[in-house]
Amino acid sequence: MNRTEWSRAERMALTPERLTEMYSWMITIRHFDRRAVQLQRSGRLGTYAPLEGQEAAQVGCGVALEKGDWLFPTYREHGVSMVHGLPLATILLYWNGRPEGCIPPPNVNIFPIAVPIATQLPHAVGAAWASKLRGEDAVTVGFLGDGATSEGDFHEAMNFAGVFKLPVIFFCQNNGYAISVPLHKQTATETLAEKATAYGMEGVRVDGNDLLAVYRAVKAAADKARSGKGPTLIEAVTYRYGSHTTADDHTRYRTEEEVEAWRAKDPIERLKQTLQEHGIWTEELEAELWKKADEQVQTAIDEMLAAPPVDPDRLFDHAYATLPAHLQAQRAEMRALYRSEGGV
């Protein structure tokens, strides 16, 4: 993108310092993601959902929002969650199987991760309706992948948001696959953005590997929502280099040639080129940002590893107000087993 293509507002908002911050976030997220996969492979994290390749979509979205806005993530929004204020250690604690990983700091408006597909979208719409009824300025963002557009919850949420003109953005990261199912086998539409028409809202399709294009799309949708003009569906076309999760093997359904073709469109390299064109990028800056990312990620890993063992009783704490007899028996059995294996 040339400087002349930017609006005056964008030139004021996207200062060299701001662009550098965006680039730094992308580097930090990629380094975090790679380290998290290593931790899972070494047995220190549970099953993990990588996002490498989708950094521009998540950072571009995150920087276009305000602190008071609400995020309703899937299991792959580590990047935008970091930008919105969720500590890296909290994300690792979640994937380490700890309930603390579902608790954001005060004033960080992020709901817990939703693993079932699209179930968080009606919740996002409900939060947006509450904001509208209260006269608040907050925008709600419900995240989804391409596979979620085949779920009933998606359509119900879209319909409700369209009818009531709610301040919500449906942000779809279309990486071409719902686990192993390619897009053409789950929808007959040419794009996902066009699905918005059926619900009386605007649909926008954007290059999800172009951080500045994503920023523009989300900023426009958020401004529209705040002005009372209703919801938007954004389809960010991107690609995840690795498997759906660490329990998956993407080589069974994707070719190496396909993956390498997308690597040629790498979002970090594309933003680096923009920084070079504007005289911002240097080798010294690159080294500094990677060093900073390594320090941040290592600090988060150390914090996660230093956390005390989880009390196994917590498995039973929040399912029932009064624990049924059969679960009381299971808890007693678990406690006896835990003690026999050296637990407290």
Single out the residue of 239, 290, 243 nearest to residue 264, CA to CA. 239
Q: Which residue has the tokens 């230093």?
A: 306
Is there a catalytic annotation at residue 240? Answer: yes
Spot the catalytic one: 35, 76, 216, 240: 240
Q: Which SS3 state, helix, strand or coil, does residue 36 take?
A: helix
In single-letter form, the type of residue at position 57 comes to A
Amino acid at 83: V
Residue carrying structure tokens 């389809």:
235
| Of 78, 84, 205, 244, catalytic | 244
Report CA-CA distances (Å) from 306 to 14, 96, 207. 38, 12, 40
**DSSP letter string over 246-257?**
TT--GGGTS-HH
How far is the C-alpha of 141 from the C-alpha of 143, rounded, in Å?
Answer: 6
Contact between residue 212 and residue 270 where contact means Cβ atoms under 8 Å apart: no
Is residue 253 flagged as an active site residue? Answer: yes
Contact, 52 vs 240, CB < 8 A? yes
Give the 3-state secondary structure percentages of the chain, helix then strand then coil, rounded to 5.
55, 10, 35
Sign for the CA dihedral angle at 292, 298, 301, 306 comes to: negative
Nearest to 171 by CA among 52, 266, 81, 48: 81
Encoded tokens for 69: 């806005």
Name residue 10's amino acid.
E
From 44, 253, 270, 338, active-site residue: 253
CA atoms of 139 and 223, how far apart (whole Å): 9
Distance CA 298, CA 28 (A): 11
Please report, as a single letter, which amino acid is at residue 199. Answer: Y
| CA atoms of 249 and 310, how far apart (whole Å) | 30
- Give the active site residues: 240, 244, 253
